């Protein structure tokens, strides 16, 4: 089932493109950015795929091929994987501690080591590395078909873009990605923490937001909560949060000039995760 499919034009052989994709569970979300003017011209989300489809090389390759993601005019690629297992480490950490972090992460996924490798990404604006499991089959497809590619954890671009878009010192960005909740917390203008939670009910969402506030010492009456991703103002989720949180907002100040006209009239917060990934260099 395709939940979102916006496209202004198909490939133009005169243009070059950047492919950005976020992959998790049974879901593929991707966007094409035209490099000449930095506009997102296509965005598509495909859900209800085979569970953990990214572990099946043939299935994933065919999915990419069917959606024309191996087009010769794709010049660069950013691929993000969304999982609950990750460890953010300051770049200045000594090598002994870095090795310990790596070994701890390996231990946490040891039963999956035939399918995953430990990937390292850079989160430039907080001067840190992120270590996380990445599917081997998916990495082989990316590295084997795109000469210019970068791999991220799906929280990385949200951490990077949040304080560029949101002009508050104390805030939590809450991104909804199907049945997964991503949170990014900034306190006094500085990054504090980021998490990934599996959610089953709307009460889970409220619980995890309040937990983030408690753990970071931000008073509820002073907290600014920004929502992005697959949530609407008319939803029961929003109504529940609005009952308990005074300062609740949608991420809506994303530059409209970064989107082609096909996105006119569409809520900009819906695309903030893939938009943020498209901005990663």
CATH number listed for the domain at residues 167-250:
3.30.420.260
Cβ atoms of 199 and 181 within 8 Å: the answer is yes
User: Which residues fall within 8 angstroms of residue 256, CB to CB, at 6 or more apart?
Assistant: 263, 268
Cβ atoms of 145 and 75 within 8 Å: the answer is no
What is the residue extent of each domain of the chain? 1-164, 167-250
Q: Can you name the CATH fold of 1-164?
A: Nucleotidyltransferase; domain 5 (3.30.420)
Comparing 1-164 with 167-250, is the CATH topology the same? yes
User: Which residues fall within 8 angstroms of residue 211, CB to CB, at 6 or more apart?
Assistant: none
Predicted pLDDT of residue 96: 58
Report the distance separating Cα 223 and Cα 20, nearest Å.
Answer: 32
- Strands 190-198 and 27-34, by their bridges, are unpaired
Mutual angle of helices 57-66 and 136-145, in 10-degree steps? 40
Sign of CA dihedral 125, 195, 253, 230: positive
pTM beyond cutoff 0.85: yes
Predicted pLDDT of residue 134: 95
Predicted pLDDT of residue 267: 85
Cβ atoms of 138 and 69 within 8 Å: the answer is no
C-alpha distances out from residue 261 to 40, 142, 164, 178, 204, Å: 10, 30, 23, 26, 36
- Residues of the chain with pLDDT below 70 are 1-2, 93-113, 253, 256
Q: How many CA atoms lie within 13 A of 227 on its CB side?
A: 20
């Amino acid at each position: 089932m395709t939940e979102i499919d916006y496209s202004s034009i198909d490939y133009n052989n005169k243009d070059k493109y950047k492919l950005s994709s976020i992959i998790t569970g049974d879901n593929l979300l991707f966007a094409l950015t035209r490099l000449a003017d930095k506009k997102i011209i296509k965005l598509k989300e495909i859900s209800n795929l085979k569970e953990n489809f990214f572990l099946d090389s043939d299935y994933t390759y065919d999915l990419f091929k069917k959606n024309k993601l191996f087009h010769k005019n794709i010049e660069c690629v950013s691929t993000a994987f969304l999982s609950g297992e990750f460890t953010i480490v300051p770049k200045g950490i000594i090598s002994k501690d870095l090795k310990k972090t790596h070994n701890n992460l390996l231990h946490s996924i040891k039963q999956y080591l035939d399918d995953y490798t430990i990937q390292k990404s850079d989160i430039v604006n907080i001067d840190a590395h992120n270590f996380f499991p990445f599917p081997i089959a998916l990495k082989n497809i990316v590295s084997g078909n795109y000469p210019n590619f970068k791999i991220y954890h799906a929280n990385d671009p949200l951490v990077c873009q949040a304080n560029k878009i949101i002009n508050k010192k104390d805030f939590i960005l809450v991104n909804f990605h199907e049945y997964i909740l991503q949170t990014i917390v900034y306190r006094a203008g500085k990054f504090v923490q980021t998490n990934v939670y599996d959610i089953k009910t709307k009460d889970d969402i409220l619980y995890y937001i309040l937990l983030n506030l408690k753990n970071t010492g931000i008073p509820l009456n002073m907290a600014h909560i920004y929502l992005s991703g697959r949530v609407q103002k008319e939803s029961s989720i929003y109504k529940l949060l609005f009952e308990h949180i005074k300062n609740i907002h949608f991420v809506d100040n994303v530059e409209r000039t970064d989107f082609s006209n096909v996105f006119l009239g569409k809520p900009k917060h819906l695309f903030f995760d893939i938009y943020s990934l498209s901005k990663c260099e």
